[in-house]
Amino acid sequence: MTSRKFSSGDLQVSVFDPVDYLDSDQAMVAYLEAAFEENDPAFLMAALSDVIRARGIAEVASKAGLGRESLYKTLKPGAEPRLGTILRLLDALGIRLSICPARAIRKARKPAAAKPAKPATKGRPIRKSASPQSSVAEPRSRKAHEEKGPTKTGAARSQPSA
């Protein structure tokens, strides 16, 4: 078996740099939101670095009140900047963090499940009668159920023994 060394001249490859695509405030915000969803601090800092490079290191450093060299150290892979520094950088970018329940984010990310098709009915369609009560049923506790007695649907069920 012969071995052949690979040289980069054999293959045309372009380097992907997200900075080339972060050309609007909306793109930058969407990029940072996606990075936050990963829940990985290193990934988030890399994304923040990309957004800052897209906006301009000198401009962001000036607005954040940091020196360029200090900003480079803050954005260096493996650096763990303080929250205050991150907030200053986001403020310099014109971006603000907002807090919301995690379950709201999970619900927003889940695609809506397709509703099953309604079964075909033979004959007349079933009519639901309008009731004066709210359409949302309030669950009753067992004690309240025993005090009020069985409902129409619960009449056939056996009563709990004392």
The phi-psi region of residue 132 (left if phi > 0; otherwise alpha if psi is between -120 and 50; otherwise beta) is: alpha
Neighbouring residues of 22: CB distance < 8 A, sequence distance ≥ 6: 28, 31, 50, 51, 54
Write the CA distances from 108 to 38, 39, 86, 100, 103, integer angstroms: 15, 16, 26, 12, 8
Q: How far apart are CA 92 and CA 94, in angstroms?
A: 5
Provide the token pair at 25. 């405030």
Q: What domains lie within the chain, and their CATH numbers?
A: 18-105 (1.10.260)
The closest of 55, 130, 160, 101 to 71, measured between CA atoms, is: 55
pLDDT in tens, 84-115: 999 999 999 999 998 888 876 666 666 655 55
pLDDT at res. 12: 79
Predicted TM-score of the model (pTM)? 0.58
Q: Letter for the amino acid at 48?
A: L
Least confident of 36-50, 61-75, 94-108, 144-158: 144-158
Q: How far apart are CA 30 and CA 123, in angstroms?
A: 52
pLDDT at res. 4: 62
